[in-house]
């Protein structure tokens, strides 16, 4: 499996991971493609928009899409995002069986983010 990690401009983070593998693109030395069994395809995005009408000044969407090796949705995973300022948040699945996980917040913390995905006995960390 091939893993890609890239930063997309100020205030946004995008991760495409295959649960282990190589990293390509403009990744910095602190980016990590993750570890695992290479059985999950993970597309993650943290997208922050400056919005003075929102308490906190930002609307931030944390989204993760999980698929298996044949591109079928992976449901029932535990998806968490960690940050030294944010702490840890858990993203709920948008609907049962969708394989899509999302949470919206009203701040955009500084610093690096860590994504953890656990499904059954398969764990991915990036």
- For 79, residues 6+ apart whose C-beta sits below 8 A from its C-beta are 64, 66, 90, 91, 101, 115, 116, 117
Query: Contact, 1 vs 17, CB < 8 A?
Result: no
Instruction: State pLDDT tens for residues 41-90.
Output: 888 888 888 877 877 777 889 999 999 888 899 999 999 998 888 899 99
Checking if the pLDDT of 11 tops 50, the result is no
Give bridge partners of residue 117 from the DSSP assignment: 79, 124
Domain-by-domain residue ranges, the chain?
4-125
Give the residue, 13 or 82, on which the prediction is more confident: 82
| Confidence band of 25 (pLDDT split at 50, 70, 90) | very low
Euclidean distance between CA atoms 55 and 79, whole angstroms = 25
| pTM of the shown model | 0.70
Stretch 17-29: mean pLDDT, rounded? Answer: 44
The percentage of the chain sitting over the pLDDT mark of 70, rounded to a whole number, equals: 64
The CATH number assigned to the domain with range 4-125 reads: 2.60.40
pLDDT of residue 38: 67
Q: Which of 4-8, 100-104, 114-118 has the weakest average pLDDT?
A: 4-8
Judge contact between 13 and 7, C-beta under 8 A. Answer: yes
Q: What is the pLDDT of residue 68?
A: 86
């Amino acid at each position: 499996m091939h893993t890609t990690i890239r930063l997309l401009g100020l205030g946004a983070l995008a991760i495409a991971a295959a649960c282990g593998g190589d990293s390509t693109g403009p990744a910095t030395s602190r980016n990590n493609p993750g570890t695992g069994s290479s059985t999950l395809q993970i597309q993650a995005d943290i997208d922050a928009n400056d919005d003075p009408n929102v308490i906190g000044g930002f609307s931030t969407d944390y989204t993760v899409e999980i698929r298996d090796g044949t591109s079928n949705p992976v449901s029932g995973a535990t998806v968490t995002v960690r940050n030294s300022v944010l702490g840890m948040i858990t993203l709920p699945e948008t609907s049962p069986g969708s394989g899509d996980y999302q949470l919206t917040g009203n701040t955009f913390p500084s610093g690096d983010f860590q994504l953890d995905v656990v499904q059954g006995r398969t764990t991915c960390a990036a």
